Structure 1
Amino acid sequence: MSTEYPNDEFRILSASPTEEGLLVLLEARMADPSAVLDLFEGAPKSRVPSSEVLHADEGTVLVQFQLPFVPPPYRALFASGNLPQFPYTIEDGWIVCDLSTSHERLSRFRDELEETGFSLEVVRINQSIDPADLLTDRQRRFATEAIERGYYDTPRQCSLTELADELGVSKSTASVVLHNAEETIVKEFFAESIE
């Protein structure tokens, strides 16, 4: 349907395996949403045993339906050790999605898909870890203070002693906390290139 209506938007909001197959929630935003309603009304029970329209108006249809099987792309996702990350957009016959995973699991997903006759195109890979999440609250507070006071500027605007005084700790404590924060940040930054 997405190839027949390339200007319309189709999104899989959720899909959950059941004993009977796969339960799917589909949202279609279309100029003529009756096309989706007609598709489900005319679908053979062997392909779509049940469907329910949860919402329909002049531009949007929300349909929950049951498939009697788990489609190969979804099986490949699980077989590769990945979890679905909704929503999925369907554009011109392609499922477009984000996937938070490792390089190894992404490769396994590609292999699993290819075994079923499907293909995978990786458009972009992003490092999605927020570096601030790598630090403890204390490390983040010390590093933030060091940046704000110019400790990392060239030339330095603040000495380690001045920074320690401002933080209310000894010079050696400030040094250890900052060193641990710097170690974590540097190792994370270079993790992919030194594996």
Structure 2
Amino acid sequence: MISASIRIRLPEETWIAEVSRSFPGATFRLLSGIQTGETAVELGEVVAEDPRDIAEEITSHPSIETYQRLEGTDDRSLAKYRTRDTGLYKFIEASSLPPEFPIVVQDGWFELDFTGTRPEFDRLRDVLDAADHPYELRSIVEAAETAALLTDRQREVLEAALREGYFEVPRECTLDELATKLDVDKSTASGIVRRGERRILTRVLTGVSGERLTESDRPL
């Protein structure tokens, strides 16, 4: 299996391209979406200094049929909306390899993660090369590489940390909360996270595997 992170320039005419370029400091996250006929229903989040201004621009865009703000704070807004822009779903259908949510948009660029087999990824590359949109392959990792990189325990803890929002900015889960979720003490959780991060960073930055396994990292 292959895991890849790809950055794609959005078509100029799409609503999210226009709005994200109007607010280059904002982060847009597509949390889920589904195409229904000629439109798509999506759940999206905006993180910005004043998301209300962005919500107003989204609502007034001609490609947006309906827009319902579900919740929000001073710097975040969550909304459900229906759009006539369905290019993302046509791309997914053509590539046969669905991206993993959330899909992040910033200043006119999609950032998507994909996981699939080598033939599926090769087909995705063919679709990207044939499309008239610039793209950047930010990372690609073979599963065989990652299998030996982390212990089962490190992978379990790091996946929980990622899922609970420990690595988000601002952080959505404290180390205490993560430790409680994993039913371990705080120092144990901290040690496993730090060793797992060190292994990943060492491999990414130097191409060399990280430190030896320690007893606390081994499966329980």
Per the normalisation by structure 2, the TM-score is: 0.52
Tell me what 1:33 maps to. 51
1:108 deviation in Å? 2.1
In structure 1, C-alpha distance between the alignment counterparts of 2:71 and 2:84, rounded to whole Å: 23
Partner secondary structure for residue 121 of structure 1: strand
Per the normalisation by structure 1, the TM-score is: 0.58
CA contact (8 A) 2:59 2:66 kept: no
1:16-70 per-residue CA deviation (whole Å, 9 max, x = no partner) reads 11124211111001101122221133122xx211111111221111121112352
1:101 deviation in Å? 1.7
In structure 2, C-alpha distance between the alignment counterparts of 1:69 and 1:114, rounded to whole Å: 21
Q: Which amino acid aligns with 1:9?
A: T
In structure 2, C-alpha distance between the alignment counterparts of 1:113 and 1:124, rounded to whole Å: 15
CA contact (8 A) 1:8 1:28 kept: yes
Query: 5+ residue gaps in structure 2?
Result: 1-18, 149-220
Which of the pair has the greater relative contact order for Cα pairs under 8 Å at 6+ separation?
2
Larger % of strand: which?
2
CA contact (8 A) 2:67 2:80 kept: yes
**Aligned positions of 1:10-159 closer than 5 A:** 10-44=28-62, 47-71=63-87, 73-128=88-143, 131=147
Tell me what 1:165 maps to. none
1:114 deviation in Å? 4.3
Distance 1:3 1:117, change over 3 A: same
In structure 2, C-alpha distance between the alignment counterparts of 1:67 and 1:126, rounded to whole Å: 34
Partner secondary structure for residue 41 of structure 1: helix
CA contact (8 A) 2:23 2:54 kept: no
**What is the root-mean-square deviation in Å for CA atoms of aligned residues?**
2.2
Which structure would you say has the larger Rg? 1
In structure 2, C-alpha distance between the alignment counterparts of 1:92 and 1:126, rounded to whole Å: 26
Query: 5+ residue gaps in structure 1?
Result: 133-195
Distance 1:69 1:31, change over 3 A: closer
Q: Which amino acid aligns with 1:31?
A: E
Partner secondary structure for residue 125 of structure 1: strand
Distance 1:69 1:28, change over 3 A: closer
In structure 1, C-alpha distance between the alignment counterparts of 2:93 and 2:80, rounded to whole Å: 22
